């Protein structure tokens, strides 16, 4: 009744003031002047507000930080806690009130002095708490609703609302609202951990990238997997990106824990057009979920249902349409603050009061802005609201009476699609690093190191930032080619072979940060040289090694030999290099013959010398003979029989008349004939 009389009283007061003399305005005149005077340079923000849901037994407590941005002190001012006269009945009204609270009628429920008698000094700040019992709020006792609240500073120079928020007034029960909360844990490992920490409640379903999440952190939740790197399926489906899709939903997850690797696949998409839905169905997806940054309204039909069926492939696929308002508020509105929690709860109250009878999906997506303080506060407040019933996402997906809808237009969002040449570059780079990784010591780790950057360049996050996408793609492709081109042949272009059989020394280099096993393959089209082996070698990470390729020469010629490093399965791992081998097989044969002849001559000379030396050693020289009494000569026994025992030497007492064996004289037998 009082609220109804206020407009009439205002008109009566305005009329009285219009006919009153200026000197008679007094205090009333000053109050009227406040409305048009310039507002003081005061700013501030609400830091805490409890509770988020008010009942008849509640006390609303709001704490705010007030800042004086002016040089001069502010004295004699008051801080008012004001509540809107009428409820805010729609999402649009809530947004409008928060943008311009001064345009809504409000009444003061409690006030306090700003800084007491001292006031607030220039460039100073203070914190104060305003508390109002429910009985002083002047709200209806029999109807729930959402109301706006402002912290307003009133002074001699005017009034300014330094901050605004909304609260839910629930003196009676609100209709039940089913909410399926979904948190998307993708990006880096640190980002995924932050998301799961911001949504710790067991009722929250997780969409996880298996390549960056910790299985223990998500094990107690309802889990769905997304393509590795959050690949932009719409761009891939509208072009030739099948290889990237196959990797993102398949091999990229090989090293993940089974709980994530085997979870049902839900694909976040920018546009749910027919090509995208067909690609998702072909990849085995249980559903697609629309990313709120792109086209939430493209899928038409199905009324306001959060999950609809759309034809795809040989059947249909579920399309999840998150509530745009609640999802956006959770994702970006004043993250981690009391104002954010109160608004999220209030938006849910508006939906409940509107009579929504189907589950509502709240998903902040991959652009959820997480606070450093209490990122979980808004979501926790939502799911703890008395009228909110948290339901699993699977319940919405398995509902038997899901309405049907139509796919988005094929032209929707085409301006944001990844260019065809970029997809081709990423696809070629992925194929290259897959080959290198397969031959490395740790294939999974090696592949993820390079492939993850390629997927990030083709991700939904990249689609949302087209200004930096080209640089992201170029960087990912260049990094991949560092690995692809990391295996090379470092041997000079010319080699010599001067034998019928031998080996070609080939130096191979590995700039990849893992050991890589390769087959060194050499081929030639010349009949003058035969390659007799293809050795397998492990090249150390960041190093090089020399490999001997066995060959046999047929005849003298200059031969072109093509050398390439291959995987053990046969694919090329390096650029081929052509070497010139100077084959001089005849030189080798001639050298062998000459060497053999020289060796034979040396052997003959050695034999002759040995024989001659032996004969000379057995012949007596003239000095070795002595005269006998009869004039004959005998050798000196001490010289010719050197080394013989002294007992065998002739004595001075020998009989001079003893007979002498003339055959022994001169060291040579005499011819008896």
Do 397 and 425 reside in the same domain of the chain? no
- Assigned domain for 629 exists: yes
Do 344 and 384 reside in the same domain of the chain? yes
- Assigned domain for 540 exists: yes
Q: How many CB atoms sit inside 10 A of residue 595's CB?
A: 10
Residues 571/573/575/581 CA torsion (nearest 10 deg): -80
Do 152 and 292 reside in the same domain of the chain? no
- State whether the Cα torsion 609-610-615-618 is positive or negative: positive
**Chosen domain end from 130, 148, 169:** 169
Q: Which of 561, 552, 591 is nearest to 579 (CA)?
A: 561
pLDDT confidence of residue 596: 75
Q: Burial-class residue 535 by CB neighbours within 10 Å (0-12, 13-18, 19+).
A: middle
**DSSP-assigned states of every residue in 588-612:** HHHHHHHHHHHHHHHHHHHHHHHHH
Q: The domain that contains 502 carries what CATH number?
A: 2.60.40.10
pLDDT confidence of residue 171: 97
Do 326 and 240 reside in the same domain of the chain? yes
Q: The domain that contains 275 carries what CATH number?
A: 3.20.110.20
Separation between Cα atoms, residue 411 and residue 415, nearest integer Å: 9
Do 477 and 505 reside in the same domain of the chain? no
Do 275 and 144 reside in the same domain of the chain? no
Q: 10-residue block means of pLDDT along the chain (673 residues)? A: 37 34 30 36 94 97 95 91 98 98 97 87 94 96 98 89 97 98 95 94 96 88 96 95 93 89 96 97 97 90 94 95 97 94 98 94 95 89 98 92 94 95 95 92 86 94 92 95 92 82 93 94 92 95 94 90 94 93 70 72 84 66 54 47 41 43 42 40
Q: How many CB atoms sit inside 10 A of residue 333's CB?
A: 18
Residue carrying the six token digits 């205002």: 10
- Assigned domain for 270 exists: yes
Do 540 and 576 reside in the same domain of the chain? yes
Bridge partners, residue 497, by sequence: 583
Do 146 and 248 reside in the same domain of the chain? no
pLDDT confidence of residue 453: 92
The number of distinct structural domains making up the chain is: 6
Separation between Cα atoms, residue 165 and residue 338, nearest integer Å: 9
- State whether the Cα torsion 557-560-565-570 is positive or negative: negative
DSSP state of 352: H
- Residue 600 φ then ψ, to 5°: -65, -45
Q: Which of 176, 103, 172, 104 is nearest to 140 (CA)?
A: 172
Do 295 and 331 reside in the same domain of the chain? yes
pLDDT confidence of residue 296: 84
Which are the contacts of 362, defined by CB distance < 8 A and separation ≥ 6?
A: 179, 180, 181, 182, 322, 323, 326, 327, 330, 379, 382
Do 84 and 192 reside in the same domain of the chain? no
- Assigned domain for 598 exists: no
Q: How far is CA 222 from CA 205, 353, 356, 393, 587, in A?
A: 5, 29, 24, 8, 78
* Residue 516 structural domain: 487-583
Do 382 and 473 reside in the same domain of the chain? no
- Assigned domain for 673 exists: no
- CB contact at 8 A, 351 and 360: yes
**Chosen domain end from 432, 454, 484:** 484
Separation between Cα atoms, residue 9 and residue 17, nearest integer Å: 12
- CB contact at 8 A, 174 and 345: no
Do 395 and 436 reside in the same domain of the chain? no
Separation between Cα atoms, residue 579 and residue 490, nearest integer Å: 11
- CB contact at 8 A, 405 and 309: yes
Residue carrying the six token digits 């005269």: 627
- Assigned domain for 553 exists: yes
**Chosen domain end from 553, 583, 613:** 583
- Assigned domain for 564 exists: yes
- Assigned domain for 607 exists: no
Cα first-last separation, the chain: 177
């Amino acid at each position: 009744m009082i609220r109804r009389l206020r407009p009439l009283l205002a008109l009566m007061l305005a009329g009285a003031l219009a006919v009153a003399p200026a000197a008679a305005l007094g205090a009333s005149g000053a109050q009227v002047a406040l409305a048009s005077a310039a507002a003081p340079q005061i700013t501030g923000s609400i830091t805490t507000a409890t509770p988020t849901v008010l009942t008849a037994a509640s006390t609303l407590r709001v704490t705010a930080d007030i800042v004086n941005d002016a040089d001069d002190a502010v004295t004699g001012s008051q801080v008012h806690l004001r509540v809107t006269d009428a409820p805010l009945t729609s999402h649009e009204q809530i947004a409008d009130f928060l943008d311009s609270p001064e345009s809504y009628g409000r009444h003061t429920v409690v006030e306090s002095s700003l800084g007491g008698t001292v006031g607030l000094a220039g460039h100073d700040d203070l914190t104060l708490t305003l508390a109002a019992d429910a009985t002083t709020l002047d709200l209806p006792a029999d109807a729930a609703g959402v109301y706006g609240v402002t912290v307003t500073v009133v002074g001699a120079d005017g009034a300014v609302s330094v901050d605004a928020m909304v609260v839910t007034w629930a003196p009676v029960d609100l209709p039940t609202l089913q909410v399926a909360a979904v948190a998307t844990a993708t990006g880096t490992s640190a980002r995924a951990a932050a998301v799961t920490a911001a949504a710790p409640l067991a009722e929250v379903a997780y969409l996880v990238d298996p390549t960056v999440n910790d299985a223990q952190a998500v094990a107690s939740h309802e889990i769905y997997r997304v393509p590795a790197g959050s690949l932009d399926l719409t761009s891939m489906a509208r072009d030739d990106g099948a290889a990237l899709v196959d990797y993102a939903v398949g091999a990229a997850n090989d090293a993940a824990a089974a709980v994530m690797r085997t979870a049902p696949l839900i694909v976040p998409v920018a546009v749910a057009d027919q090509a995208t839905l067909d690609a998702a169905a072909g990849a085995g997806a249980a559903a697609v979920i629309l990313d709120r940054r792109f086209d939430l309204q493209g899928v038409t039909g199905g009324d306001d249902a959060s999950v609809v069926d759309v034809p795809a492939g040989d059947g249909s696929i579920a399309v999840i349409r998150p509530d745009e308002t609640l999802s956006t508020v959770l994702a970006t509105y004043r993250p981690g603050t009391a104002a954010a929690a109160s608004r999220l709860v209030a938006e849910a109250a508006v939906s409940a009061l509107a009579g929504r009878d189907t589950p509502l999906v709240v998903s902040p997506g991959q652009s959820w802005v997480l606070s450093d303080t209490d990122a979980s506060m808004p979501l926790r407040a939502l799911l703890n609201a008395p009228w909110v019933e948290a339901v699993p996402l699977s319940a919405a997906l398995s509902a038997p009476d899901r309405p049907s809808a139509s796919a988005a237009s094929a032209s929707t969002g085409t301006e944001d699609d990844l260019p065809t040449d970029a997809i081709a570059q990423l696809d070629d780079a992925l194929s290259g690093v897959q080959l290198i990784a397969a031959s490395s010591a740790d294939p999974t780790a090696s592949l993820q190191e390079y492939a993850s950057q390629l997927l990030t360049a083709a991700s939904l996050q990249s689609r949302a930032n087209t200004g930096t996408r080209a640089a992201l793609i170029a960087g990912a492709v260049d990094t991949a080619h560092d690995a692809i081109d990391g295996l090379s042949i470092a041997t000079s272009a010319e080699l010599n072979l001067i034998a019928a059989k031998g080996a070609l020394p080939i130096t191979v280099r590995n700039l990849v940060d893992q050991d890589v096993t390769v087959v060194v393959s050499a081929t030639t089209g010349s009949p003058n040289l035969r390659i007799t082996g293809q050795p397998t070698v492990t090249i150390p990470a960041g190093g090089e090694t020399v490999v001997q390729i066995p060959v046999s020469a047929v005849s003298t010629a200059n031969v072109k030999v093509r050398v390439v490093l291959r995987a053990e399965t046969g694919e090329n791992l390096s650029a081929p290099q052509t070497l010139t081998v100077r084959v001089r097989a005849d030189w080798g044969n001639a050298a062998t013959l000459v060497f053999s002849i020289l060796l034979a001559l040396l052997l003959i000379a050695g034999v002759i010398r040995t024989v001659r030396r032996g004969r000379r050693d057995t012949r007596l020289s003239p000095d070795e003979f002595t005269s006998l009494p009869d004039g004959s000569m005998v050798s000196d026994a001490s010289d010719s029989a050197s080394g013989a025992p002294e007992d065998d030497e002739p004595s001075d007492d020998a009989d001079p008349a003893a007979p002498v064996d003339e055959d022994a004289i001169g060291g040579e037998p005499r011819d008896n004939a």
